[in-house]
Amino acid sequence: MCLTECLAASCCLCQSCTGSCRMAARYMYGLLFLLSNILAWIVRDYSLKKYHLFHYLKGCRSSLDCVGSDGVLRLSFGCFMFFSFMFLTTVGTSSTKDPRDSWHSGWWPIKTLGWAALMVMPFLIPPHYIAIYGEIARFGAGIFLVIQLVSFINFIYFWNEEWLNEKYEHIWRVPMILVSAVCFMASLFTIGVMIAWFVTSKDCKLNVFFISSTLCLVLFTTLLSVNSKVNAGLLTSGLMAVYIVFLCWSAIMSEPLSSTCRIHPHPSGGKYDWLTIVEFVVGFGAISLATFTTGVHFRSFSLPLKAAGADEGQVQYCYGVFHFVFAIGAMYFAMLLVGWSSHHTIHKWSIDMGWTGVWVKIANEWLAAGVYVWSMVAPLVLKNRNFS
């Protein structure tokens, strides 16, 4: 809490540079979101026994896993309430002269205290209400994944258009070829590694299906992207290939500890090696980074803002959308930490372990490929629509 207030104070020093402060406010919200994640992880992995001191958790006396999941959901609910409140109080803000603009980028001592209070208040709520929130969080996490997917596809098309701009095409032609080549080589190399690591016996038929279907999706989307009628470009298909392969890798890594189809199974018996911890830290950071970048750059469901520099009084990003993404991101990190089920067996230093998480990621992979394919063929199918 002291850290957030110190950063807020440093931000307030630049009030003469109000634009910079508005952009810096994003990182303050990102920090609060990250702290919420860390608290949820600590509660899940290291505070299970202390939960029995609270009378409102008596329904979980027979299961430490239930207690850990309950704590994660309570902190997630507090984080969700904070960003939902910020969403309701900033949605529709379009001008820097709007009082809500200063509320979004300032008032950090009050907002930090409010966040801290919302981290504590959910522990006073009866368990059955938290269980209801857990069910709703599954739906919210699904919405987050869809928004993240659409945001990523928008990003790769934006990148492609910037590098194909007539003014700079001669500058970016070689880098575009190099980036595309690196993406395809990295994707194929990762597929080879997955075959070597995760197809360790004839019984690993499910992993064979996951990997082979991923390879087929990469080949199909790539061939379609270079079709003369589509001409989406190798850069978009290369970046999409990396994304699809990453989802497949992540899905297989989420398989339960009982799975024997992996060359590096997670340790048991309470002993954790450095690789397990590194995997956890990277995955943990990825949650916050994905939420932050999606909240900042996602504009598909928001009203279009004026071009930068067209109006000095125009806000630089959509505050309401930003907070909405963080709100459902709170639901998403809860699902990852509890394995998409409050009754799921929890292991220390683990994120999104279990068959539910596996199939969520595989479904997300297939959806990603489907949306990307539709983005390429839609102009051909719906010729009366303007997709520019």
**3-class SS letters over the chain:** CHHHHHHHHHHHCCHHHHHHHHHHHHHHHHHHHHHHHHHHHHHHHHCCHHHHHCHHHHHHCCCHHHHHHHHHHHHHHHHHHHHHHHHHHHCCCCECCCHHHHHHHCCHHHHHHHHHHHHHHHHHCCHHHHHHHHHHHHHHHHHHHHHHHHHHHHHHHHHHHHHCCCCCHHHHHHHHHHHHHHHHHHHHHHHHHHHHHHCCCCCCHHHHHHHHHHHHHHHHHHHHHCCCCCCCCHHHHHHHHHHHHHHHHHHHHCCCCCCCCCCCCCCCCCCCCHHHHHHHHHHHHHHHHHHHHHHHHCCCCCCCCCCCCCCCCECCCCHHHHHHHHHHHHHHHHHHHHCCCCCCCCCCCCCCCCHHHHHHHHHHHHHHHHHHHHHHHHHHHCCCCCCC
Residues 6+ apart with CB under 8 A from 287: 37, 329, 332, 333, 336, 351
What pLDDT is stored for residue 15 in this prediction?
Answer: 44
pTM of the model: 0.82
73 occurs within a structural domain? yes
End-to-end alpha carbon distance in the chain: 46
173 occurs within a structural domain? yes
Q: What number of CA atoms fall less than 13 Å from residue 256's CA on the CB side?
A: 9
Higher pLDDT pick, 249 / 301: 249
CA distance 42 to 153: 34
Taking residues 56-65, what's their average pLDDT? 52
Q: How many CB atoms lie within 10 A of CB 171?
A: 11
pLDDT band at 158 (very low <50, low <70, confident <90, very high): confident
pLDDT band at 269 (very low <50, low <70, confident <90, very high): very low
388 occurs within a structural domain? no
For residues 91 and 103, the answer to whether their CB atoms sit within 8 Å is no
* CA dihedral over 347, 352, 357, 361, signed as positive or negative: negative
Tokens (6 digits) for 203: 């019984």
pLDDT band at 306 (very low <50, low <70, confident <90, very high): very low
What pLDDT is stored for residue 13 in this prediction?
Answer: 43
CA distance 12 to 29: 15
Q: Is the pLDDT of residue 65 over 90?
A: no
Q: Angle at which helices 205-225 and 355-381 pack, to 10 degrees?
A: 20
For residues 278 and 60, the answer to whether their CB atoms sit within 8 Å is no
- The string of pLDDT tens digits covering residues 221-241 is 999 998 888 878 889 999 999
CA distance 81 to 217: 39
CA distance 248 to 253: 9
CA distance 66 to 13: 45
For tokens 């505070």, what's the residue?
Answer: 47
What pLDDT is stored for residue 9 in this prediction?
Answer: 46
Tokens (6 digits) for 302: 């928001």
Most confident by average pLDDT, 16-30, 123-137, 362-376: 362-376
Domain count, the chain: 1
147 occurs within a structural domain? yes
- The string of pLDDT tens digits covering residues 180-215 is 999 999 999 999 999 998 988 888 999 999 999 999
CA distance 382 to 380: 6
14 occurs within a structural domain? no
Q: Is the pLDDT of residue 113 over 90?
A: yes
386 occurs within a structural domain? no
When mean pLDDT is compared across 32-46, 299-313, 337-351, the lowest value belongs to 299-313
What is the chain's Cα-based Rg?
Answer: 23
Domain carrying residue 97: 2-8+19-381
pLDDT band at 365 (very low <50, low <70, confident <90, very high): very high
Q: Is the pLDDT of residue 323 over 70?
A: yes
Phi, psi of 255 (to 5 degrees): -60, 145
Tokens (6 digits) for 139: 């739906």
In 3D space, the residue among 214, 228, 219, 226 whose CA is nearest the CA of residue 160 turns out to be 226
CA distance 181 to 175: 10
54 occurs within a structural domain? yes
Average pLDDT taken over every residue of the chain: 80
127 occurs within a structural domain? yes
Taking residues 109-128, what's their average pLDDT? 92
CA distance 205 to 100: 55
CA distance 94 to 214: 42
